[in-house]
Amino acid sequence: MASALSDKLSRLVKEMRGQARITEANVQDMLREVRMALLEADVALPVVRDFIARVKDKAMGHEVVGSLNPGQALVGIVNRELVATMGEGVSDINLAAQPPAVILMAGLQGAGKTTTTAKLAKHLIEKRRKKVLTVSGDVYRPAAIEQLRTVTKQAGAEWFPSSPEQKPLDIARAALDHARKQYFDVLLVDTAGRLAIDEVLMREIRDLHAALNPVETLFIVDAMQGQDAVNTAKAFREALPLTGIILTKMDGDSRGGAALSVRQITGAPIKFAGVSEKIDGLEVFDAERHAGRILGMGDIVALVEQVTAGVDMQAAQKLAAKVKSGEGFDLNDFLAQIQQMKQMGGLSTLMEKMPSQIQAKAGQVDMDKAERDIRRKEGIICSMTPAERRKPDIIKATRKRRIAAGAGVHVQEVNRLLNEFEQMQGMMKKMKGGGLMKMMKRMGA
């Protein structure tokens, strides 16, 4: 479902390809497309307007206007702006208060407050080593109190009893008193789900807030809510000083637009994401990954564009066919591969486009050195005669010395390259299916 926006942007990028340079007028056209795409992803209209205005500012600057690849540049800006907006000020639960630190859970009925209260209790116990007490202020639904009792037990936390005959304020005060006396570090207060239009209930939660002075007031919101998320968020923001958001049901097929809407409307950081009904289904919110969800596949869109723009597809296909037919993979092909890599903008540019997980894994590799190596290899192959490139077997001592001198390297380096080539040749024979084409197909080219 997240594909709506990504499809739009991919199409947009394709349309822009071939257009030499972009003008201000073109930026307007492109922004209209981005706007439509965000709306389709269920980002609320006022939020879209704001977001587009910010992207426009950046696009009008040097980043897109004058860029050789405006589509890619714009996708890049949209992605970065999404990450910046959603990731700003993200931090773990704040417990910097005289214990017990009180956490107030607010949101619509069915948003996932009770489930999330237990998930959070488990998180605080396991990750922060805290002693946690939960209490339900939902005096309107006896089943809700029971539900909290059950999930609190699953979380390994303690539950403070309450009953429908009591007033929420009295329950909260009694729980706070108990938490103090029993040296709990954290008191999690689950509340009745309320509709934003319900003035009485909104006043009730304001009173709860005043009495409890919570260190965190969390707004629990269903990620599937789409456009409505904005009205809900507005009402809660007006009633309460929200300190954080937890987006639930992120395991559903929502388009993810609610995250951007709620973040922008409340100004509060998205701290966690609920990813299953189970008690351990809570993850620290990852803005980059979520931007990837909204865009379909993150900066991969830009990567695909870069790869397809840079690579001579005919040459790549010819190479693949050659390998497939079993015809020898020679040094000319090896050189072609190296040159394709260069056309794609070099290793480090490619790496910048990769998802952060891959970047982290590759972090140990010295990119500068790798690129220098590639250039030296190119130099060595270019110093060979066409016959040598076709039949590397004929390269013996004398030829090696000549090639080394021509490329300005030691003979050992020529040997190393020939060894490497042999290994690759062996690998190519095994693959037989044309690895490069497969790789490019997988990337959506």
111 has binding-site annotation: yes
Torsion angle, CA of 420/426/429/430, rounded to 10 degrees? -120
The only residue of 24, 29, 277, 368 in contact with ligand GDP, by rule CB under 6 A: 277
170 has binding-site annotation: no
248 has binding-site annotation: yes
The only residue of 166, 227, 276, 383 in contact with ligand GDP, by rule CB under 6 A: 276
What's the angle, vertex CA 275, arms to CA 270 and CA 280, rounded to 5? 105
Identify which of residues 13 and 275 has a Cβ nearer to ligand GDP in the complex. Answer: 275
113 has binding-site annotation: yes
110 binds ligand GDP (CB under 6 A): yes
| Shortest Å, Cβ 121 to ligand GDP | 13
| Shortest Å, Cβ 277 to ligand GDP | 4
Q: Is 273 helix (H, G, I), strand (E, B) or coil?
A: strand
274 binds ligand GDP (CB under 6 A): yes
The answer to whether 295 and 6 are in contact (CB under 8 A) is yes
137 has binding-site annotation: no
| Shortest Å, Cβ 227 to ligand GDP | 20
CA-wise closest residue to 176 among 140, 232, 125, 133: 133
| Residue 441 identity | K
Identify which of residues 145 and 403 has a Cβ nearer to ligand GDP in the complex. Answer: 145
* Sheet with 244-248: strands ordered across: 158-160, 132-136, 186-190, 101-107, 216-222, 244-248, 270-274, 282-284
Residue whose Cβ sits closest to ligand GDP: 274
Here the tokens at position 7 are 């499809």
| Residue 401 identity | R
The site that binds ligand GDP (CB under 6 A) totals a number of residues, namely: 17
| Shortest Å, Cβ 113 to ligand GDP | 3
Count of residues in the chain: 445
Please list every residue from 242 through 271 that binds ligand GDP, using CB under 6 A. 248-249, 251
For the chain, the C-alpha Rg in angstroms (whole number) is 29
97 has binding-site annotation: no
109 binds ligand GDP (CB under 6 A): yes
- Where does this chain touch ligand GDP (CB under 6 A) — which range of 75-83, 102-110, 255-263, 409-417? 102-110
281 binds ligand GDP (CB under 6 A): yes
| Shortest Å, Cβ 353 to ligand GDP | 31
Give the rounded distance of the alpha carbon of 416 from its chain centre. Answer: 40
| Shortest Å, Cβ 275 to ligand GDP | 6
Q: At what angle do helices 435-442 and 313-325 cross, to 10 degrees?
A: 130
Q: Which residues are CB-neighbours of 359 under 8 A, at least 6 positions away?
A: 351, 352
The answer to whether 422 and 331 are in contact (CB under 8 A) is no
- Where does this chain touch ligand GDP (CB under 6 A) — which range of 113-121, 228-236, 318-326, 404-412? 113-121
List binding-site positions for GTP: 107-114, 190-194, 248-251
Report the interface residues with ligand GDP, using CB under 6 A. Answer: 107, 109-115, 193, 248-249, 251, 274-277, 281
